[in-house]
A and B are shown apart, each in its own frame.
Chain A
């Protein structure tokens, strides 16, 4: 047993009882990173010196018995599109190679208030565009279960670091599945909260109507603790929901007797690996044994979600990424002829291929003469997809299916076919378009690779999602499996 085998609640208990110091825990984190990150390549920037200093500060506070935050002295990794004051934040893009934020994101500040120590910044697909981490301008993070395979994405570094036991937890962001899909591929727990529950202030925007920050953890209980630390209203994000935040750890108590589960038949059909499907059916049996009932339901517009998503997300991205002009921050191209030339050269040198492709698609979809045919059409289809969920939730408490149609694929296997790559998100994208919360929890293995179970809830009903996931986890052993590194 090393300090990294404990849950967050156990770590906090040990830190409070002073049977473990924040310094020992932080040392263990950096020792594990040193031993494994040459292979895994999850981290883009380490915050080692600062983290060790903070650990000593928390140890003093624990000794003095001062009032401490809920996660005081526990290190974590943060996805590199969430800004951190004084700590380089690149979005895995050459464009922001030298960018050091001058303030914290809302969630970075909330983690600090809870006493979390930032261990470093985690790799991702450039500007969160991708599902494999192959679109990082710096490195391809490896799946700890099989280093020839991708960790998923875009929060691939965040998922791999937790799966490899480098950090007790991490933060990621999810636009069309970017927390849930890598959590599924890496055999850990990934939660995408309801749109608006966690402030996006300081999250570098990709698609503003979809982006949402959430935790990647080893257990559901850990997920509840991290969500507690980062949820809440923020006046700096005009889409931040002003809702009462429940006690998520307390919500784990109880049972699922009488719970009505809908299983979208579109999530169990063609294109879903039979072994993935079997793992989900086994999980449903577990829920039956816990007293829940399930039946098939139809979300009839599922097959249109990927097309609508890529038009909407790319359109929003083309607008959001117009801020990267080489004038105020980021990397400026050398020797421009004039100001326009500076924009052209800085953007062309700074952005990678997938980012350019999405800017092109979005610019086209929003351009004069095409807006109605693409953007407006996609917004209308989004309404139909959301109505599918509204109707299903009139009858069911939760919806359950696979997180991804397959397990992790091999590095390089899909890189030349963007459409094929986009299809990996076919079961997470509809949930993002509807704005509802969903978690991915490990539910078995297929040929030595983890399979993720997706549990989808009503808007702001994270409590029900977490409770069902927690009870499933308690009834199974899947989350206890660890990759050999």
Chain B
């Protein structure tokens, strides 16, 4: 499979990345080289192979659903780029 400029634009949009024309061209070339290399995996027949979801035999980890303290709001807001009334301020979501 190969990837074209249009695919790169689509993927960049999904990933919320703005790319310059130069970046789009460079990534098209580089991703094509990487994906071409990844085609190597198709040499292997994996029809009867289970995918690895975890390297260790670990099951779901459960705990009691109890109320516990979390970070206090003042601490959480310390790294906020913009804050108002103890909340993260963002630009308008709807026009």
Contacts and interface: CB of A to CB of B under 8 A. Distances in A.
B67 interface: no
B79 A330 contact: yes
Given A238-B61, A330-B79, A377-B42, A419 B34 contact: yes
Contacts of A248: none
Nearest to A345: B18
Contacts of B17: 344, 347-348, 351, 356, 359-360
Given A307-B41, A331-B81, A347-B16, A339 B90 contact: yes
B10 to A, nearest CB: 8
Interface residues of B, number: 52
Contacts of A209: 54-55
A6 interface: no
Contact of A330 (B53, B78, B81): B81
A197 B53 CA distance: 18
B58 A382 contact: no
B7 interface: yes
A337 interface: yes
A381 B44 contact: yes
Contacts of B34: 310, 361, 418-419
A353 B61 CA distance: 37
Contacts, number: 161
B55 to A, nearest CB: 3
Interface in A354-389: 356-357, 359-361, 363-364, 367, 370, 373-374, 376-384, 386
Contacts of A52: none
| Chain A interface, DSSP helix/strand/loop, else mixed | helix
A84 B92 CA distance: 34
A343 B16 contact: yes
Contacts of B44: 301, 304, 381, 384
B22 to A, nearest CB: 11
Interface string B1-36: 101000110011011111100010001001101110
A301 B3 CA distance: 27
Given A103-B71, A326-B81, A339-B92, A378 B41 contact: yes
Top 6 nearest A-B pairs (CB, nearest first) are: A435-B55, A379-B51, A329-B79, A332-B81, A380-B46, A348-B18
A100 interface: yes
Contacts of B78: 100, 102
A327 interface: yes
A307 B38 contact: yes
Given A307-B37, A344-B16, A384-B49, 8 more contacts: A99-B79, A235-B63, A304-B44, A330-B81, A332-B81, A336-B91, A382-B51, A434-B55
A179 to B, nearest CB: 17
Interface string B34-75: 110110111110100111111110100101000000010001
Contacts of A382: 51-52
B51 A196 contact: no
A20 interface: no
A327 B18 contact: no
B74 to A, nearest CB: 9
Contact of A328 (B30, B46, B88, B92): B88
A341 B17 CA distance: 10
Contacts of A344: 16-18
13 contacts: A102-B75, A239-B58, A307-B40, A327-B81, A339-B91, A356-B17, A360-B27, A363-B14, A363-B15, A364-B11, A370-B1, A374-B35, A376-B51
Contacts of A464: none
A318 B15 contact: yes
Contacts of A338: 91-93, 95
